[in-house]
């Protein structure tokens, strides 16, 4: 295990490189750029430094005591907490995401568009390359799985799992005088400490990002979607949030939307001018298409999805967040 690298305490679950696409001060140096942030709990809009947005202290860190299969190069904090995936994000995933958005921006800027008569729509004469769709699918998976929202979901699931396993063990021991082997006790002890210390979510996130087969499987699931780029030509800008990748269920009401779930729509805003919409089942005529839309209505729908499904914070290039605040108050 490596102790030579200085651990990162303030960890961004939405990359700074991504949030800079929405900066309100693009002419400033990167470390001084600002962004408008709406806090849904405090109902307050304010301009904050990008470096202070969408970050939590030690969101990916957990107690390594009795941990299973730690990577050789795991960074260990002085207090014995692992930062196994922080370096993976900063060294591999975030540069990939930034490069994918840069390539998409280049294609959008250099395409010609054919207007559809009597509509606000026009389509580009080029398609998104297949390999770029594959990279974009990976970015969607990585961004969805790394958020504080997903960590909290894992933590809640972990706490329920520990509670259920403990109940089963106690029930069989008391009712049937049955005993379990030491592995069961050690596992419950380990996961119980993770749950009690709010570490279960971070441990599960590390496990997921260490499982290449699972990540490939999720990426392959997204490749079955039709992925459509919408270029925003309206005066209203796209916004983003602390959960930039949103999954919307258009099927059964009680069915949780997930990658590959029928009638699931994925919305991922890349910049104030570009948003990704992924539709499943696959619609071949829309896949890898680039569409310009002059309609305020469609932009407002995308922004309302970001606002309503965010966990707490919404981000924008300008102070239009105040309008969403007023709508919520009404």
In a domain, 169, yes or no: no
The pLDDT value recorded for residue 225 is: 93
Q: Which helix (H) or strand (E) segment is 98 a member of?
A: helix 94-109
Which of 64-78, 148-162, 167-181, 280-294 is predicted least confidently?
A: 64-78
The answer as to whether 130 is a domain residue is yes
The predicted pLDDT at position 89 comes to 86
Q: In total, how many domains does the chain have?
A: 1
pTM of structure? 0.83
Q: Which of 71, 93, 79, 101 is nearest to 14 (CA)?
A: 93
Residues 6+ away with beta carbon under 8 Å from 90: 8
Nearest Cα to 287, choosing from 102, 95, 58, 128? 128
Contact 320, 239 (CB under 8 A): yes
Place of tokens 């979607």: 225
Residue 184 lies in a domain: no
**The pLDDT of residue 107 is above 80:** yes
Residues 41-54: b if buried by 16+ CB within 10 A, e if exposed = eeeebeebbbbebb
Asked if residue 323 is part of any domain, the answer here is: yes
Least confident of 138-142, 171-175, 270-274, 321-325: 321-325
**pLDDT surpassing 90 at residue 140:** yes
In a domain, 183, yes or no: no
> Is residue 223 in some structural domain?
yes
Range of 48's domain? 10-152+211-329
* 3-state DSSP assignment of residue 295: coil
């Amino acid at each position: 295990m490596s102790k030579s690298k200085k651990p990162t305490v303030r960890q961004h679950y939405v990359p700074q490189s991504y949030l800079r696409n929405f900066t309100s001060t693009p002419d400033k140096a990167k470390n001084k750029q600002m962004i408008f942030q709406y806090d849904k709990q405090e109902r307050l809009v304010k301009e904050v430094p990008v470096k202070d947005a969408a970050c939590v202290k030690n969101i990916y860190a957990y107690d390594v005591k009795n941990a299973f299969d730690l990577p050789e190069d795991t960074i260990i904090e002085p207090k014995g907490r692992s930062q196994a995936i922080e370096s993976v994000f900063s060294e591999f995933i975030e540069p990939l995401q930034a490069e994918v958005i840069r390539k998409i921006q280049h294609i959008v800027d250099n395409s010609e568009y054919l207007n559809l008569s009597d509509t606000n729509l026009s389509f580009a004469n080029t398609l998104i390359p297949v390999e770029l769709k594959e990279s974009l699918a990976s970015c969607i998976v990585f961004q969805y799985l790394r958020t504080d929202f997903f960590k909290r979901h894992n933590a809640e699931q972990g706490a329920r799992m520990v509670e259920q396993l403990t109940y089963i063990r106690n029930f069989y021991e008391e009712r049937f005088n049955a005993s379990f082997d030491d592995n069961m006790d050690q596992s419950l002890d380990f996961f119980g400490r993770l749950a009690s210390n709010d570490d279960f979510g971070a441990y599960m996130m590390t496990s997921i990002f260490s499982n290449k087969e699972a990540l490939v499987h999720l990426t392959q699931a997204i490749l079955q979607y039709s992925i459509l780029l919408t270029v925003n030509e309206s005066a209203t800008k796209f916004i983003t949030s602390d959960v930039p990748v949103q999954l919307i269920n258009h099927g059964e009401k009680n069915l949780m939307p997930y990658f590959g779930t029928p009638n699931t729509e994925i919305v991922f805003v890349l910049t104030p001018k570009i948003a990704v919409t992924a539709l499943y089942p696959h619609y071949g005529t829309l896949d890898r298409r680039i569409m310009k839309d002059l309609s305020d209505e469609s932009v407002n729908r995308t922004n309302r999805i970001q606002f309503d499904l965010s966990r707490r914070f919404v981000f924008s290039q300008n102070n239009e967040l105040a309008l969403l605040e007023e709508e919520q108050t009404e």
